[in-house]
Amino acid sequence: MSGHRVDAFRFTGRLIKKIILEAIESTTPPTSIPWAVPAKPLVESRVALLTTAGISMRGDPPFDMETERNNPTWGDPSWRKIRFDATHNDIVANHLHIDTTYIENDINVALPLLPLRDLITMGVVGSSAPNHYSIMGFQGVDSRTLENVSAPEIAQAMQNDEVDLAILAPV
């Protein structure tokens, strides 16, 4: 597939593409990346997954796409817990910037729970956290609520679940 380019804006309109590209161009990249050395080997670790696909459990409040439709520079900064045993039948995907039908047909497209279970069975990963997490990857031009409220809340929830290692599954 050499030469094949992924169109990151395939499911957005021209206005959203323009806003995002302008925001990227005006952003100063960080001078360092805050990586942390794992505290224990993967085979002994409890792992939680975090997706940016806007997934929620059926019956939980969906991510707010209506406000974003009315204000294309806004993205829902809230977060949702996803059970470790969730399947595509248990979830709803709400995201204006991706085709969610793939996720609704196979949750593993955005939240690789089955591969995680396989790695646990194979003895590569110690265990799965009881909960995994979902946020809306698109935050428009202001991600302060996600950074200052949602991220610390997710971190606390992971600490409560005794998570050793979090893995980001971006979409």
**pLDDT (tens digit, 9 = 90+) per residue, 99-140?**
888 998 999 999 999 999 999 999 999 999 999 999 998 887
Best CA proximity match to 20, nearest among 74, 64, 63, 78: 74
Domain-located, residue 107: yes
What total of structural domains would you count in the chain? 1
Q: With pLDDT > 90 as the criterion, what percentage of the chain qualifies?
A: 58
DSSP state for residue 74 in the 8-state scheme: B
Q: Structure tokens of 124?
A: 């590569």
Element (H, E) at 170: none
| Cα(171)–Cα(169) distance, integer angstroms | 7
In-domain check, residue 6:
no
The predicted-structure confidence for 49-66, as pLDDT tens digits, reads as follows 999 999 999 999 999 989
Task: Provide the domain limits for residue 97.
Answer: 40-169
Within a domain: residue 22? no
Domain assignment of residue 109, yes or no = yes
* pLDDT on residue 31: 79
Task: Identify whether 96 is part of a domain.
Answer: yes
pLDDT at site 1: 46
